């Protein structure tokens, strides 16, 4: 029996959801989709469509792809919350998620997740193309079956390989425009692949007590700060190097590599600063691990803005 299921009768998780205010219920269902994560996914999808079109793509296609991508990623998020509802109830960071508070029942969550999966797959198939639809569905299945069910609770490399699902919107955006996958898509896929661990590990360092409490072997739980910081630096260097590969391959003009180099230099400065603090043995607030986490979101946002702007400056 899971932690949520074992709550005493009368707790929020066991009360009927039918009497809840409509607005609160709507917000709870929206929360199941993990909208903050989807925001980042769409930030990589749309600029790639501009690059693929070498200018302004069909804006109706952009809208259709974003809506379909939102539903697909939202379905993955809902499945994730259904599967992880036991550990979510024990972690401070996730203790207010809808299944934990009882705002949404597990059955409602599961129906919602299946509905989003089916609708998003059909939506992209009809309004974009079958290739985009299958790539989005593949990302969803990988996130749910491989990351959430297989890797997350078994290996410290969970976020490395699980991050593949978060790379797929690059392919979805490119294929929506061209009905194909190119080397440009592969390069940007790899940028997100190598970005994901040094993006997430600083947050894991901050909340490692949560993960340790529920037995999830995130890297900061099973390794010291020095080891984690060293891994962050290694992935950061590879990420920056890969990000610059678009230019010699001929997919961009001068603007993108200049922006990528400047953003990458600042990222490496922050990554090495974190490693220096970790080596000195500081802990707690003095480690300042969240500086890199917050910068990582700014980095990927600005990098992909440069992807979208570059075609207009060639």
In the prediction, which pLDDT does 54 show?
A: 94
Residue 149 and residue 190 share a domain: no
* CATH classification at residue 289: 1.20.120
197 falls within a domain: yes
pLDDT at 17: 61
The model carries a pTM of 0.90
pLDDT band of residue 267 (cuts 50, 70, 90) is very high
Distance, in Å, from the CA atom of 71 to the CA atom of 54, rounded to the nearest integer, reads 27
| pLDDT tier at 6, thresholds 50, 70, 90 | very low
Final residue of a structural domain among 103, 135, 153: 153
Q: What is the pLDDT of residues 12-69, one digit of tens each?
A: 444 456 567 888 899 999 999 999 888 888 899 999 999 999 999 999 999 999 999 9
Mean pLDDT to the nearest integer, 87-96:
93
The yes-or-no verdict on residue 1 having pLDDT over 80 is no
Do 189 and 291 lie in one domain? The reply is yes
From 110, 136, 153, give the residue that closes a domain: 153
Q: How far apart are CA 132 and CA 125, in angstroms?
A: 7
Structural domain span for residue 210? 182-314
Across residues 74-88, what is the average pLDDT? Answer: 96
User: How far is the C-alpha of 9 from the C-alpha of 15, rounded, in Å?
Assistant: 8
Task: Tell me if 285 is assigned to some domain.
Answer: yes
Q: Is residue 164 part of a domain?
A: no
Final residue belonging to a domain, choices 153, 173, 208:
153
pLDDT band for 286, please (50, 70, 90 cuts). Answer: confident
Residues 6+ apart with CB under 8 A from 77: 32, 33, 34, 37, 38
Query: What is the C-alpha to C-alpha distance for residues 277 and 225, in angstroms, rounded to an integer?
Result: 9
Per-residue pLDDT reduced to its tens digit, 135-185:
999 999 999 999 999 999 999 999 999 999 999 999 999 999 999 999 999
Residue 124 in contact with residue 133, Cβ under 8 Å? yes
Report if residue 92 sits inside a domain. Answer: yes
Average of per-residue pLDDT values in the chain: 92
């Amino acid at each position: 029996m899971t932690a949520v299921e074992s709550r005493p009768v009368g707790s929020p998780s066991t009360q009927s959801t039918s009497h809840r205010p409509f607005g609160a219920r709507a917000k709870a269902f929206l929360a199941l989709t993990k909208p903050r994560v989807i925001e980042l996914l769409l930030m990589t999808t749309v600029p790639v469509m501009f690059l693929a079109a070498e200018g302004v793509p069909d804006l109706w296609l952009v809208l259709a792809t974003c809506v379909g991508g939102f539903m697909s990623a939202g379905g993955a998020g809902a499945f994730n919350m259904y599967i992880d509802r036991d550990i979510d109830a024990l972690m401070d960071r996730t203790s207010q998620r809808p299944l934990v508070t009882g705002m949404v029942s597990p059955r409602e969550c599961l129906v919602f997740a299946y509905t989003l999966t089916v609708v998003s797959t059909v939506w992209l198939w009809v309004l974009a193309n079958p290739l985009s639809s299958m790539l989005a569905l593949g990302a969803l299945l990988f996130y749910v079956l491989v990351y959430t069910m297989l890797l997350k609770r078994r290996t410290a490399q969970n976020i490395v390989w699980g991050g593949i699902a978060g790379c797929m919107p690059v392919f979805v955006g490119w294929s929506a425009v061209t009905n194909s996958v190119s080397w440009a898509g592969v390069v940007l896929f790899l940028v997100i692949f190598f970005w994901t661990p040094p993006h997430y590990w600083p947050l894991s360092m901050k909340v490692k007590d949560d993960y340790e409490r529920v037995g999830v072997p995130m890297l900061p739980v099973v390794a010291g700060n020095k080891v984690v910081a060293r891994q962050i630096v290694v992935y950061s260097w590879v990420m920056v190097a890969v990000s610059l590969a678009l230019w010699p391959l001929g997919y961009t003009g001068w603007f993108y590599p200049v922006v990528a180099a400047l953003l990458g230099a600042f990222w490496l400065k922050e990554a090495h600063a974190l490693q220096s603090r970790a080596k000195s043995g500081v802990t707690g607030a003095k480690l300042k691990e969240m500086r890199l986490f917050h910068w990582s979101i700014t980095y990927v946002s600005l990098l992909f803005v440069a992807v979208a702007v570059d075609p207009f400056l060639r």
